Structure 1
Amino acid sequence: MTTDAHETFKLGEFTVPRLWTGLWQLSSNAWGAAPLSKIRQAMGRHVESGYTAFGRHGAYLTTSGTWLLTAVDPTRALRLITTAGQFRSSLESPESVFGATKYCVFKPTVMSPETVEAAVRQRIERMRTERVDLLQACLFHWQDYSNPDYITAIDILSQLKAQGLITTIGLCNFDAVHTDEICSRFPNTIVSNQIPFSVVDTRALYALAQVCTKHGIKLLTYGTLCGGFLADKWIGEPEPEPYSGSLNPSQRKYLDLIVKAWGTWALFQELLILLRSIGDRHNGVSVSNVATRWVLDHPAVGAVIVGARLGCSEYTSDNLKVYGLVLTSQDRAEIEEVLARSASRQLIETIGDCGAEYR
């Protein structure tokens, strides 16, 4: 195992790292929060360590046209986006940091060129750049796929890309059927799809990974560490009480996934112990390292987005150990043996394809 080289991949015209820093946990104090000054300092530490790709919260557009930066704390989210833009513009080489933002539409109505362009220009202003690197063209909470407005929105975004306002366009939480539809209608337009994927949640392997390979787009995965449950600290711990106050919103979500849909807490403990033993074979890397590497090893995956509470809870050095970690066929076979005793492969039926849980 070596850790001297950071792994990269091509995303449109960019070469970007395979580990991204997700900032959604900074959008509300419910996860725990640091002052904006400490968050900015933490961004600097991440960049110095080689984390040069950040995924940021964007804005969500309701039918009334009201901008809601999060459902929890819109004021804080706006300040965070502004802080991120200020940090990037302060760098000697701002272009060395890749920033991804989202454009989500709730309860969609008829999309217009004016509405979509306004959303793009808002992000350009807040990111303090001339164009948006990756506008996640995700109609994130699209209530009914039979409403064709997502096609209209992608069409408008592709026109803005041709005008130079957007460099690359991605999707977020689109399932296999609709990813295939969009990529077929707009060839060579979409570069990515941001979806949940972990050693627990393997729905992406049902059909979406094949669709992405077919169209040459990459998966950007989140939830890869199940809100932090795929970590050494949970080995030997009793099943937590969801509303005891000890879990944050993300952990409550993934606890439900683990014990209500995937399997039992006892089986999850078996998985953690196995990942720990695999890590011991590879110079003692962490459970989180092994879980992340397992996802990265799937050909359709471009990057794993690791959520961080900058200034509060960061695992910068540990996460970098993923680079250079090479799982063996024995490692993968042993992981598959545990998964075969779970409901991992049935999640596509019980929950639905990727993103179904948000609709």
Structure 2
Amino acid sequence: MEKVRFGQTDLEVSIVVLGTWVTGGWLWGGADDKESIKTIHRALELGFNFIDTAPVYGFGKSEKVIGQALKEWGNRGDIVIATKCGLEWDEKENVRRNSSPQRIQYEVDQSLKRLGVDCIDLYQVHWPDTQTPFEATMQALQKLQESGKIRYIGLSNFSKEQISACLQAGPVHSLQPPYNIFEREAEKELLPFCMENGIATLGYGGLCRGLLTGKFTGDEQFAKGDLRRFDPKFKPDRFKQYLKAVDALKKLAAKYDKTVAQFALRWAIQQPGLTTVIAGARTPRQVEDNAGVSDWRITEEDIRKVDEILEKHIKTPVGPQFMAPR
């Protein structure tokens, strides 16, 4: 797996990050813990050294499973762990934003315990909390740095203006925005801004909730609790548009003897301003497919063809806004 310097940090990370929302099972129709651990181990064997998670992924479950996988692996070595803070939930699984210093201090200790580590490499505010001054949030994160509980500070789902406000209060080492072939809002302001300010980026949703794997036919019935039941992209009319685009992308990927998923991840990596791309995996086989992103390039001509495919097939594009918590 190719490695890259992560912004202005001293971290050398794999260009594909193992995403673990599915590991927690919540909003993904459940998860098999043993299979998840096998998947994490296979990723490490293949050279993935960057794992992204969050407490809200299964309400602690994803972090616990990663902690168990690391324990069984036996040697953390250069494995980089990124998790998040700033969301809280109740017994009914209602999630809301809370980036108060008190919440952050509570969360970091819980995450360290679940992950079984002494220090978190990258600690990210999951969603901006406009009820808490950004300065207060940043000060709390800097205190965690000084205490040795975290190494670097990241933001997720923040706008350019919100990042700027945080920068006035302290260093921001990374941003995690949604980004894939179908969701490209970050290209307008966020990626250029991050390039200008030396902020590393992790584009999440690299396979767009599975759309870019090419596995869907359009007849799928998603189980109760699966977030794709609420995703506008998976509603009948739009679903057909996106699947036509995926079919065309498959033909483009075949030129490189690659799957459409591998092509989609490689496309993301080649975009200006993107440092790494996050791809989830439920099974070892899926992570093996995601590993096929290294050591090849898409031509500029075919990069342009991607834009032509989107313009031809997707008449009513829609972003990932439905995922934003209160």
Within the alignment, does 1:6 sit opposite 2:22 as a pair?
Answer: no
1:274 maps to 2:248: yes
d(CA) in 2 for partners of 1:181, 1:302 = 22
1:173 equivalent to 2:157? Answer yes
Q: Is the CA contact 1:56–1:81 (under 8 Å) kept in the aligned structure 2?
A: yes
1:218 to 195, 200, 205: 200
8 Å CA contact 1:137–1:154 kept in 2: the answer is no
- 1:252 — aligned with what? 229
Q: Which residue of 1 aligns with 2:269?
A: 296
Q: Is the 8 A contact 1:104 1:137 kept in 2?
A: yes
1:38: which partner in 2? 35
CA contact (8 A) 1:135 1:169 kept: yes
1:309 is matched with: 282
Deviation at 1:196, TM superposition (A): 1.0
**Equivalents in 1 of 2:37, 2:282: separation in Å?**
12
Q: What is the SS of the residue equivalent to 1:198?
A: coil
Q: Distance in 2 between matches of 1:279 and 1:213?
A: 28
| Alignment partner, residue 22 of structure 1 | 19
- The answer as to whether partners of 2:124 and 2:153 remain within 8 angstroms in 1 is yes
Q: 2:44 aligns with which of 44, 47, 54?
A: 47
In structure 2, relative to structure 1, the CA distance for the partners of 1:211 and 1:185 (3 Å cut) is farther
User: 1:137 offset after TM fit, Å?
Assistant: 2.3
Q: Which structure 1 segments of 5+ residues have no match?
A: 59-68
Aligned partners of 1:105 and 1:92: how far apart in 2? 30
Alignment partners' CA distance in 1, 2:51 and 2:182: 24
TM-score (norm 1): 0.77
Q: How far apart, CA to CA, are the structure 2 residues paired with 1:280 and 1:111?
A: 49
In structure 2, how many angstroms separate the alpha carbons of the residues matched to 1:207 and 1:148?
24
Measured in 1, the distance between the counterparts of 2:50 and 2:124 equals: 14
Contact 1:289 1:322 in 2 (8 A): yes
Q: Which residue of 1 aligns with 2:302?
A: 331
Residue of 187, 190, 209 corresponding to 1:227: 209
- Work out the CA distance in 2 between the residues paired with 1:258 and 1:154: 37
Paired position in structure 1 for 2:93:
none
Structure 2 CA distance for partners of 1:346 and 1:288, relative to 1, 3 Å: closer
- Comparing 221-230 with 337-346, greater Cα deviation is found at 337-346
1:276–1:178 distance in 2 versus 1, CA, 3 Å: same
TM-score calculated relative to the size of structure 2: 0.84
In structure 2, give the amino acid aligned to 1:132: I
2:295 is paired with a residue whose SS is coil
Cα distance, 1:248–1:289 mapped onto 2, change above 3 Å: farther
CA deviations over 1:106-158 (Å, ceiling 9, x no partner): 5567834x5433322222222222211111123x263xx3x343331112101
For residues 198-236 of structure 1, give each alpha carbon's deviation from its aligned partner in whole angstroms, at most 9, with x where no partner exists.
1111110111111111211122112221111112333xx
Q: Aligned residue for 1:64?
A: none
Residues 289, 319 of structure 1: 8 Å contact kept: yes
Residues 1-359 of structure 1 aligned to structure 2 (within 5 Å): 6-11=2-7, 12-28=9-25, 31-58=28-55, 69=56, 74=59, 77-78=60-61, 80-105=62-87, 111-112=100-101, 114-138=102-126, 140=127, 142=129, 145=130, 147-186=131-170, 189-234=171-216, 237=217, 239-240=218-219, 244-245=221-222, 249-254=226-231, 256-257=232-233, 264-282=238-256, 284-310=257-283, 314-341=285-312, 357-359=324-326
Contact 1:111–1:152 under 8 Å retained in 2: yes
How many percent of aligned residue pairs carry the same amino acid?
21
Alpha-carbon contact 2:86-2:97 (below 8 Å) kept: no
Which digits, 9 at most, give the CA deviation of each residue in 1:34-74, with x for residues without a partner?
5433332332222111122211222xxxxxxxxxx45xx54
CA distance in structure 2 between the aligned counterparts of 1:155 and 1:18, rounded to whole angstroms: 30
Is the 2:176–2:204 Cα contact (8 Å) retained in structure 1?
yes
Which structure has the larger Rg over C-alpha atoms? 1
Q: State the number of aligned residues.
A: 318
What's the Cα RMSD here?
Answer: 3.0
Indicate conservation of the 8 Å contact 1:116/1:156, yes or no: yes
**Deviation at residue 179 of structure 1 after TM alignment:** 1.6
Say if 1:83 and 1:26 are closer, same or farther in 2 by CA, change over 3 A.
Answer: closer
